Amino acid sequence: MHPTAAQKESYRRDGFLVLERFLEGAQLDRLRERFARVFEHDWETGLQPDEVNYVPGVTPADRTRQLCNVWKADRVLAAGVLSPRVGSFTARLADLPGVRIAQDNAIWKPPSGKPLLCHQDAAYLDHLDPPNMTTCWMALDDTAADTGTIFYVRGSHRWPHAPLGGTFHAPDDWLAHVRHAMPEGAELDLVPIEVPAGGAAFHDGWTFHGSPANARADRERRSIVSHMISTDTRWNPASPHPIYSRYRRPDETEIDEAFFPILWRDGYRTPWLERYCAHAEASAAV
Phi, psi (rounded to 5 degrees) for 2: -115, 145
Q: Which C-beta is closer to ligand AKG: that of 88 or that of 103? A: 103
What is the maximum alpha-carbon separation in the chain? 58
Taken in order 150, 151, 155, 158, is the CA torsion positive or negative?
negative
Return d(Cα 81, Cα 13) in angstroms, integer: 25
According to the binding rule CB under 6 A, does residue 190 interact with ligand AKG? Answer: no
- Contacts (Cβ under 8 Å, ≥6 apart) of 80: 23, 27, 31, 86, 138, 224, 280
Choice from 143, 147, 207, 211 touching ligand AKG (CB under 6 A): 211
Residue type present at position 225: V
Please report, for residues 28, 38, 44, 77, 81, the alpha-carbon distance to residue 41 in angstroms, rounded to integers and kept in the order given. Answer: 20, 5, 9, 14, 19
Q: Which C-beta is closer to ligand AKG: that of 179 or that of 249? A: 179
Choice from 67, 101, 116, 273 touching ligand AKG (CB under 6 A): 116
Cβ at position 282, least distance to ligand AKG in Å: 29
The number of CA neighbours under 13 Å toward the Cβ of 44 is: 21
Cβ at position 227, least distance to ligand AKG in Å: 6
According to the binding rule CB under 6 A, does residue 137 interact with ligand AKG? Answer: yes
Q: In the 8-state DSSP scheme, what is residue 270?
A: -
Return d(Cα 90, Cα 2) in angstroms, integer: 9
Q: Which C-beta is closer to ligand AKG: that of 57 or that of 60? A: 60
According to the binding rule CB under 6 A, does residue 223 interact with ligand AKG? Answer: yes
Task: Report the residue closest to ligand AKG, judged by CB.
Answer: 211
Choice from 106, 225, 263, 280 touching ligand AKG (CB under 6 A): 225
According to the binding rule CB under 6 A, does residue 135 interact with ligand AKG? Answer: yes
* Residues 46-85 within binding reach of ligand AKG (CB under 6 A): none
Choice from 121, 127, 141, 195 touching ligand AKG (CB under 6 A): 121
Cβ at position 275, least distance to ligand AKG in Å: 28
According to the binding rule CB under 6 A, does residue 156 interact with ligand AKG? Answer: no
Residue type present at position 15: G
Q: Which C-beta is closer to ligand AKG: that of 154 or that of 279? A: 154
Kindly state the number of chain residues that form the binding site for ligand AKG, as judged by CB under 6 A. Answer: 10
* Burial (Cβ within 10 Å: 0-12, 13-18, ≥19) of residue 55: exposed
Cβ at position 66, least distance to ligand AKG in Å: 8
| Binding stretches for ligand AKG (CB under 6 A) | 107, 116, 121, 135, 137, 150, 209, 211, 223, 225
